[in-house]
Every structure is written in structure tokens, then in C-alpha cells.
Structure 1
Amino acid sequence: MIKQVIKKKILELITKEYPQIPSLEFMVDEPASEIEADLCSNAAFPLGKLLNCPPFEVAKLLSEKILDSSIFKKIEVSKNGFLNFILEDKALRKIIWEISQGNGDYLGETHKKSSERILLEFVSANPTGPLHIGHGRGAALGDSLYRIYRQCGFNVEREYYVNDVGFQMQTLAHSVEARYLQLQGNKEVQLPENGYQGDYIKELAKTMLDLKKSDFNTYPKEFLLDTIRQDLADFGVSFEHWMRESSLHLSGKLDSVLEFLDSKKSLAAKDGALWFVGEANSKEELDKERVIKKSDGKFTYFASDIAYHKDKWDRGYTHCIDIWGHDHHGYVPRMVSAVGALGIPKDFLKIQLYQLVSLKRGGKKVAMSTRSGEFVPLKEVVDEVGRDAARFFFALRSPTSHLEFDIDLAKKKSNENPVYYAQYVHARICSIFSEAKKRGIDLEVSFKDLEGKCVEKEERELMKKISFFKDILESSLQVSSPHLLANYLIDTATKFHRFYDQHRVLDVEPSLMRARLILLLATKRIFETGLNLLGVSAPESM
């Protein structure tokens, strides 16, 4: 929260002093550890460039005019032009108190009046097999973002797009049918080329045989879709909407969208096929990746995806966030181009890509391939390490970074395990309050109990970290990733443990005890809220 307040003050000052200057991009963040300041800003750099003035001189001018005694104890200017802020302890105590009392304005709830309607579409795995750990990363990323958007007051919904028609569905049907016939004793039947080979296909065929089912075009995909739903539920993920690709065909929405694109001269016939001819980044992309309708008359997934995004817009959403695996990176430019060709505003669609996941078990990586059946099911990982560890580990890294999931580490019951380390803070604080009740300590506190207290270094560092919670949520939304929150909780846990190792809470004089109980209550609130936003429980004992 306090980072946003400082940034707003800087922007207001720049607007007042330099009305001719357009909006600037600059940061307000924690400085390097060797800098003796609470926060810093590089605002003088972009402003100095526009004013043709050295950053140091600009920063000096800003520091003289931005001083606010209610927030800043001191503002210093570094030799290279950074603004370094020393925060007023009273301002920190105010934030700690409000958080301890559960004031939503200090916990992220600032967008309740927003007219925006946001649709998060994620996972959307084809119902051709169980979810694997790659899907798990997308599920954790999407669901945590949904929770953070909700926490910040936005109107947001989740959607799973079901690709229930097309070539892969045909391949699934033929694969199950082949195994079905083999189970009946027909040993001459072979799996189709590029068919699905996992044991789950054999098990599905046996289930159909036992139930005397023979609708290979429908039963397998519906069975697997139900399996996906259950795996997601066990992972703590649900969706408001399940949108089927087939509905776009049956409703005529696909035909309608293609008619619109044709009227805008965004379609062209070539080599017996129908092509999208919006802006292309390369000739290769235009030739190989933009077919709408193949020469055999069948529509491509791209055609359905265009209609799907038009449908999202028609349903009244103002922003759509798609979360895709990085293997779809080549699909991004043409999807953006197609949405633009529909006349939809550029800021409607945001596509967040996430890198691959590798599983490390027993010091070795496990290979993964969906068709060969050598993938690692999400269910297997969740059953082995638990939902909490799985959700937290998937949220630990930026989506742009490869994620190595160390299953042995995720199972450890020690501070080496990051989720255990974070959860232990909440459990420890709960035990302190439980002990206070046993001792008959009056837990009624007021803001006055904080006055002049929590001045020790470890106390102040913990207060400062807690005051950044709302800022972390806003930053998480800006980068469309919960990894900032996960790492914030780890950093805050470190601050808590340092405080707790150095200072007693209950066995001190009463006024100091009450102040520290308020600090712990705020810390507990942050971990309870933060862990929940990641889909992780906050246990009261461990």
C-alpha cells in the first residue's frame, strides 16, 4: 500500500510542477540491502531525460517538495539520482493496526467500484487424457490470479474452454476403439498412427467393455472430461464456466464470425483452403499457421478460437486473460491479429505464457509425452506431496522461467520446504495466541497500544514488510503472476523468524506485549490471506 501512496505523491508533484510532461513510468521499490533506506524510486531518471537535466538535480528538487511528515521521516538523494525514503514509524504502525483489524482497504480491496469485467481462461486441456504437471502449473497460475483479482475487488470469472471436436477427438476415439477391439480378442487391430498409448486408454476401453458402451465418439471424451474436473477439484480449482468448442459450431457463431471477417476482406481463398489474412509477422506464419478452413472442408482450431474470443467480447467482458503453455507462443501473434480484425479494442486480450515444468524425483528428471503415455499426472503429484505443497511450488517461479518441481523437497517437514516455512509462521502465531488465552491474558488491544512501540530493528523490518502486502497484490496483477506473492510470503516469513528468535512476546511487560500481539495479529492476517490467495491452507498447528 505504502509504495502506491509514494508513487501517487510523486506523480501528483510532477503533474503540478511540469504539466507539459506526459505520464511517466518509474518504480518505487525496496532498495538493495546495502542501501540504508526503506524504499527508493528512480523517478528522476525518466523525468530528467525529458527535462534534459541530470537525475541528481531532478531528484534533489523532488525531495525538497515531496516531503510529507506523516509518511516520511527523511528523503535522501543518492549520488546517481535515486530517491531514498525513510518511512515514519507512525505511518507503519497505522498500517499494521488496520491490517490487524482486517481493514479491507489495507488488504487489497480497492477496485470494488470498477466497471471492468474480467474473464480468466486457463488450463483448457483437451479431454484426451488426465491432466499432467504442466497443466497443474497453468491451473495454479490461473486460479491464484483469480483469487488475487477477487481480493482486490474486481469482477472476475474463470472459464475452461473444452476442445471437444476436431482431429484430436477423432484420434482419441480411434485409440480407445482399437484397445476395445484388442480386449475382445482381435489381435490384428493396431493403434492408429500417432494414437494415444497410455495405460489410461486401456483402462478406459476396459470400462467401456464392462459397461457395454460402444459410443467411441462421445463416451471417452466425456469420461476424461469428468476425470479432469475431479483432478482440478482435488487441486482446489473450479470454474464458473465450461465452454465447449462444439457449441460455437452448433450455434452458428463460427459461421457468423467468418462472414464478418470476409466482409472486412480478412479472409482469402488459396490452394482450395480458406486463409486469414490479417497482419502477419512473417511469410512463414502467413503460409503455414493461418488456415481457417482446410481443403477438405474442415475448420481448424484457429477458426474456432477466433469465434470463441468474439463470443467472450459479446458476453460483455472488458478484459480477457488467456493463460497458455509456452509451446503455444507461435499462436499469440495471429490470435492478437484476429481479435484486432474483429474490431475489438487492443487492450481486451492479454495472453500470459508459462514455461514448461520438469519433475525431479530421487534426483532424476521424469520425462513426459502425452501420446506415448509417459507423462506425470497432476493427480499423482498432488496425492504424493499434498495440495498445499503442489499449489505453492507451482506458484514459486515467474511464468517466464522453467520450473523444476523437486518432489522430495516438497515432502519435507522442515524449513527447507518453502510452503512449510510459510505455513509455520501462521501456526506459530496461533500457538502464541492459544498460550496467551491459557494464561488468561486480556487480548483486547487498541491503536494506542502501538504508540512508541515496535522500535527494535527486527520489529520494524517485519512491520515494513507487512505494509507492502497490498503493493504486492497490485504488482502480481500487473505481471499476471502469483510468484511475487509466494516469494513475498517467504521473505516475510524470514522477517518473522528473525523477530521471533530475538524477542519474546508474552514474557515481557504488558504494554510491550500488547504492541507485539498487534504486530503478530497483522502478520497472521497477512499469511492467512496470502496463503489462501495461493490456494494453500493456513494451519493452526503443525
Structure 2
Amino acid sequence: MKYGPISQASQELEAILRAAVDAAVADGSLPAPQQALPAFLIEQPADPSHGDFATNAAMASARAFRRPPRAIADAIISHLNLEGSHFERAEAAGPGFINLFVSERWFADVVARVLSEGNSYGRTDYGEGKKVMVEFVSANPTGPMHMGNARGGAIGDGLAAALDWAGYRCTREFLINDAGNQIEKFAKSLEARYLQHFQGEEAVPFPEDGYHGADITAHAERYIAEHGDSLLALPSEERKKVLSAYALPKNIQKMKDDLGRYRITFDNWFSETTLHESGAVMRAVEELTRRGYTYEKDGAVWYKNAAVQTEALLKQGKTQKQIDQLELKDDVLVRANGFPTYFAADIAYHANKFVDRGYEKCINVWGADHHGHVARLKCALDALGVGGDKLDIVLMQLVRLTRGGEQVRMSKRTGNAITLSDLLDEVPIDAARFFFNMREPGTALDFDLDLAVEQSSQNPVYYVQYAHARVCSILKNLAAEGISPEAPTAERLLLLTDPAERELVRELAAFPEEIVAAAKNYDPARLTHYAIETATRFHKFYNACRCKCDDADLMHARLSLCLATRQVIRNVLLMMKIDSPETM
């Protein structure tokens, strides 16, 4: 298994601590434990003066040894064998914590490892090759993508990258909602604009719930320019079908083009229509019926959502009173006219992910307004026998665009929405992708349009990219003087003892663990935070330590540290599909 420097050090330390406990018991310093020793924590203190690593092993085992934690800590420390390890000393602290300090060799090994692994540094085998899917954006193909899709795109793509680097086999998928009510509404809107062109707006009322965007009118006008009034004589249903078949592929292609410009490439574009055409939707309904989870009422097929969710909530420890407050209701799966609902299609779609395509975990990035759909879908998958616990939902909060400190208003209803395409016309793609991942998905986001285009250290993506460019500038200036970095040696890297140097190395060491944490917590914002912190540590090092100095060995050690820093910044920006400029 491939781990990062911190995880490797933690594993090494755990073995050392357990060996020390065994040695203390063997010579009578500690009594034989009265019960199996429990698991203990190994963590990194926020303040390095308290140790590079700390453990609660003594406190966790107090009951087993029936000794005060501080006495256990002293016994463990006196039996530590640190020879040949990456640790040089330990001390007891407080009620029984054990603080441990890494050796100079550990810092040297981190820099050497970054330079050795290069573009692969940060990758681990944590995910063990498990097959996972991230489904994100999945915007209705009835109009342009908006700010929620822009944020969802950055979050989903960032999360997929974290999962990939963490050792999962990750697939990115876009569900094309090309069936159902929204497509019918799309067709009605197109038909109205088409007829209005010939008969006038007063003669043809626009559907109250229609799509008012200018794109609908543009589609109708383009069709007229190409085909004239050829649809006027057709029945309404046929006319709508023709117009929808004309406009829908264009909308889907526009989505692909805009997302491609946004540097998002999906492995799969999955059509909802294919589920209906293959019979998968009705098979899912039939299976739920076979399992006793449906009933017929008023000619429709209903799913026993209230009963299924109630049972699940009772198992979670909820009281009936708490459940009653949720006012759970059953859901229609097949309407009286024989057409399945979107919920039925959604159940079939997720069954397809797990059963037909074999994904072990699926993660959907949804807007927070879909929160009520989460539990009922997961419970429906349980009822179907698929396993709702294999589906995780990341709920994403709204985006508020600001300019000059004032909110930029937008209205999807009237067709004045700020689209993804509009945003990318106004701000750099690097800034858009970085800014949308500045907060964890469940937190509302203020997107400052002025800051996104500002070329200063106040702009966080500029600040990170400048750190990369600064390393390039250092190397270029030294090259002009005939000085080139030399291959690092262990002896030289041991010279990196300045506090600013060590702070920076600690940050570089944390990169693989930050990726794993982003993957585990479904929070790619950890990557932007890490990038900013690494840049901060580098700028501090740059100001504290002269790279060009009289000591040639120290100079080349510092150049190695610069190269390692550039590599890590480049890797994290690569994950986020953000450029790493060499000059700024």
C-alpha cells in the first residue's frame, strides 16, 4: 500500500509504541494488562513545539493497566527504541500525552520523495482501486447552465480528481434529463415561440410555466430560417416533437462545449431516455411491486414511501412523534396515463449504476433544494434490494455573485439568468474553478467578480500561481549567473534546519493526506485551502532564507526545496485543472 510521508510516519510510530508497551510489560515496568489494549490516536499537534506527532496511547490504556496515564507514558517513553526510525526523541506532556519529534532525516526524506515522485507525488492507494462514480451538473438540457451548475461543475470535477488521486477508479457522469415533464415544457415553449412568429404574441399565449429564456426564441427563429412555415399545418403534438428534436441536441452540444471550455470532460453522458426505451424503468417498478412496496390508487401505481422511510427512521432511533412531524407521503411511480414519473426513472437510473454497471459507491452533487429527495431515494434503493448506503449525496448551497460589494441580481424565470458562459466571458477560468471550491459544498458562497479578475495577492488563485512563478523566477535568475540546481543528496538536504524551511517541508509532506481527506469528506475545498497554505509557507521561506548564499551546499539544498514546492503546487493545480504559469 502506498501512503504519504505522514501516514507512513504514523504507521512507523504505532509499531514503535506497541513494541515499547510490550517491552515495558516484559520487564515489569508495566503490569500485564487486564484487558486488550484499545486503539489509540496518533495526531499532529497544531504547534510543532509540542511535537511533530502526539499520541494518547497512555491515556487510552489506563484502564487496561490500572495505572495513572502519566506513569504509563513515562514507562512507554523509557522503553522506546527509536534507532533507525524517523523519530529522534519523545517527551511526556500534560496528563499523559506523549509528544514525539521527527529527526532531520525525515525532513530530508520528504523533499527527496517529492522530487523523486514528481508529477505522481500526492497519489496513494487509499481507495484500493474501488469503482466509484461522481455524477454532477446534470442540468436540464432545456436552457443554458447557471451559477449552480458552475459551482457544481467545479465541486464535482474537483472531487473526482481527489478520488482518482486517492486511488479510486473514478468515473465522471452527466445525466441528460431528456425525458419527462421538463422536455414537454420545453417543447410547448418552442411551439409557442414558433407560432408567435407567424401569428403574433396576442394570438398565441405563452405557457404560464414555460421557459422564458431568449434561447427558446432563438431556436424557433433558427428553425424558421431553415425550414420556414412547414410546421404550421401539423398537429400540435407532431409539431412539438419536431421542434424538440431540432433544439434539444443543440442544447446538449452547447452544454458539452461550455463545460469543455470550463475544462470539464465527462466519461459518460447518460441519457434518461435510454432507461425508458430499454424498459429499465418499468422493470424497477415491477420489482418494487414484487417486493410489496407499491399499490394502485386512482389508476396510478404508488410507492409506499411513508412506510419505508418510517421503518428506516425508527431503526435510526427516531421517535414516532419526530417522524410524524416530517409529514411523509407516498410517491406516484406510474401515472394513471401509464407514463412513469421522474422518481421512478431516478430509482431505475441508480439501480443501473450499481447493478448493471457495478459501481461500489456513487456520489451525486445536488443543489440544496433537492434535500427532501435524498432520504426517499436512498430508502427506495433499499426497498429495491440495491442498497441505499452505497449512494452518497453532496448537497451544495447557493452562489451569490457580487460586484463592488453589491449583489448581482439574476432571474431564471424572466430569462435574465447569468449563465456559465457569461461568467467565463467575464472572469478567468482559473479563478472560476478555484473560487467555486473555496468553501465546502454545504456552505453558501459569495463569488466576488471584482476579486476574480484582480492581479494581486488578494486574489487567492493569483497568490498561489505567483508562488509557482516565483520559483521559476528564482531558477531563471540563477541560470543567468550560470547556476543550475544539482541533484539532491541526503547530506545537503539535512542542512534544511531553519524553522521556515521545516514549516514548508511539513506542508509538502501533508499533500497526500489532504487529498485523501478531500476524497473521504467529499470536500475538494481542502485542496484550495492547502494550495493557499503551501503558497503562504513558501513566501515566508523565501523572505526568511536566501536561496543564493555563500554556502554552496545550503544553496543547492534550498533550491531542491524550491523545486519540491513548485512540484507540489503544480500537482494541486493540475488536479484542479488550473494553469501553473512560469511568469506573472
TM-score normalised to structure 2 length: 0.85
- 1:504 matched residue in structure 2: 546
Q: What are the Cα deviations for residues 53-99 of structure 1, in whole angstroms up to 9, with x where unaligned? A: 87766766666667645222333444255554432221121011110
* 1:309 is aligned to 2:312: no
The residue identity in structure 2 corresponding to 1:254 is V
Q: How does 1:135-154 map to 2 (within 5 A)?
A: 135-154=149-168
Residue segments in structure 2 that go unaligned for 5+ positions in a row: 23-32, 232-241, 311-322
Q: 1:119 to 1:324 in 2, by over 3 A?
A: same
Distance 1:130 1:49, change over 3 A: farther
C-alpha distance 463-255 of structure 1, shift in aligned 2 (>3 A): same
Inter-partner Cα distance in structure 1 for 2:300 and 2:357: 30
Identity of aligned residues (%): 35
Moved more, 126-135 or 445-454: 445-454
Q: Cα distance, 1:256 vs. partner?
A: 1.6
Q: Does the CA-based 8 Å contact 2:281-2:340 persist in structure 1?
A: no
Counterpart for residue 28 of structure 2 = none
Q: Deviation per CA, 1:111-141: give whole Å up to 9, x if none.
A: 58x3411111111111121111111111111
1:285 positional shift: 6.5
Which deviates more, 274-283 or 292-301? 274-283
Tell me the residue number matched to 1:484.
Answer: 526
User: Judging changes above 3 Å, is the alpha-carbon distance between structure 1 residues 52 and 424 closer, same or farther for their aligned structure 2 residues?
Assistant: farther
Alignment of 1:55-454 (within 5 A): 68=82, 70-79=85-94, 82-102=97-117, 106-111=121-126, 114-188=128-202, 189-212=204-227, 215-277=242-304, 279-281=308-310, 282=323, 288=329, 290-313=331-354, 314-345=356-387, 347-454=389-496
Please give the residue correspondences for 1:19-38 in structure 2 after superposition, counting only pairs within 5 Å: 28-31=43-46, 36-38=50-52
TM (norm. structure 1) is 0.91
For 1:20 and 1:266, how far apart are their aligned partners in 2?
A: 48
Equivalent residue letter for 2:104: D
Q: Would the alpha carbon gap of residues 120 and 45 (structure 1) be closer, same or farther in structure 2, given more than 3 Å must change?
A: farther
**CA deviation vs aligned residue, 1:455-509 (integer Å, no higher than 9, x gap):** 1111111111111111111111111121111101101111100111122112442
CA distance in 2 between partners of 1:327 and 1:49 (Å): 48
Shift of 1:378: 1.3
CA distance in 2, matches of 1:65, 1:212: 88
Q: Are the aligned partners of 2:55 and 2:98 in contact in 1 as well (CA < 8 Å)?
A: yes
Instruction: Name the amino acid aligned to 1:247.
Output: T
Question: What code does the residue aligned with 1:519 have?
Answer: L
Residues 323 and 351 of structure 1 are in contact (CA less than 8 Å); yes or no, is this contact kept in structure 2? yes
1:541/1:299 CA distance change after superposition, 3 Å:
same
**Partner Cα separation in structure 2 for residue 109 and residue 390 of structure 1:** 28
Cα offsets for 1:348-367 (capped at 9, x unmatched): 22211111111112221123
Amino acid at match of 1:280: Q
| Aligned-CA RMSD value | 2.9
In the other structure, the counterpart of 1:3 is 6
Change in CA separation of 1:65 and 1:419 when aligned onto 2, cut-off 3 Å: farther
Say which SS state the counterpart of residue 429 (structure 1) adopts. helix
**Does the CA contact (< 8 Å) of 1:3 and 1:28 recur in 2?**
no
Deviation, 1:382, is 1.7
Superposition deviation, residue 246 in structure 1: 0.6
Range 385-394 or range 24-33, more displaced? 24-33
Which residue identity does 1:237 align to in structure 2? I
Change (3 A) 1:362 1:87: same
Residue 117 of structure 2 aligns to a residue whose secondary structure is coil
Higher mean Cα deviation, 151-160 or 210-219?
210-219
Q: Is the 8 A contact 2:303 2:330 kept in 1?
A: no
Q: C-alpha separation between the residues in 1 aligned to 2:578 and 2:158?
A: 10
Residue 5 of structure 1 deviates from its aligned partner by 2.7
Q: Secondary structure at the match of 1:102?
A: helix
Cα separation, partners in 2 of 1:272 and 1:172, compared to 1, 3 Å: same
**2:8 counterpart letter in structure 1:** V
Residues 334, 29 of structure 1: alpha-carbon distance in 2 compared, 3 angstrom cutoff:
farther
1:17-48 CA distances to partner (integer Å, 9 max, x unpaired)? 78976985957344258x64334456777776
Distance in 1, matches of 2:284 and 2:505, equals 54
Q: Deviations over 1:499-529 (max 9, x none)?
A: 1112211244211111011101110110010
Give secondary structure in 2 for the equivalent of 1:441.
coil
Bigger mean CA deviation after superposition, 329-338 or 207-216: 207-216
Moved more, 298-307 or 194-203: 194-203
- Per-residue deviation at 1:426? 0.8
Whether the 8 Å contact between 1:273 and 1:291 is mirrored in structure 2 is yes
Moved more, 521-530 or 86-95: 86-95
Residue in 1 aligned with 2:556? 514
Structure 1 unaligned regions, length at least 5: none
Q: How far apart, CA to CA, are the structure 1 residues paired with 2:371 and 2:67?
A: 41
Q: Matched residue of 1:211: which SS? A: helix
Moved more, 200-209 or 350-359: 200-209
**Secondary structure, in 3 states, of the residue corresponding to 1:399?**
coil
The amino acid of 1:275's aligned partner reads W
Asked whether the 8 Å contact 2:136–2:174 carries over to 1, the reply is: yes
Closer/same/farther in 2, CA of residues 262 and 98 from structure 1, 3 Å limit: same
- Corresponding residue SS for 2:446: strand
Relative to 1, partners in 2 of residues 1:52 and 1:448: Cα closer, same or farther, differing over 3 Å? closer
Amino acid at match of 1:151: W
Aligned equivalents of 2:118 and 2:73: distance in 1?
34
Structure 1 residues 104 and 377: alpha-carbon distance in aligned structure 2, compared to 1, 3 A threshold: closer
The reply on whether 1:531 has 2:573 as its aligned counterpart is yes
The one-letter amino acid of 2:469's match is A
Cα distance in 2, alignment partners of residues 177 and 50 from structure 1? 77
Comparing 285-294 and 334-343, the one that deviates more: 285-294
- Shifted more, 404-413 versus 505-514: the winner is 505-514
Q: Whole-Å Cα distance in 2 between the matches of residues 525 and 430 of structure 1?
A: 11
Deviation for aligned residue 1:394: 0.7
Q: Aligned pair in 2 of structure 1 residues 295, 44: CA closer, same or farther (>3 Å)?
A: farther
Q: Which whole-Å CA distance do the structure 2 matches of 1:445 and 1:95 have between them?
A: 15
Matches within 5 A, 1:441-480: 441-480=483-522
Q: Which amino acid aligns with 1:298?
A: F
Q: Secondary structure at 2:243's aligned position in 1? A: coil
Please state how far the C-alpha of 1:425 moved relative to its aligned partner: 0.8
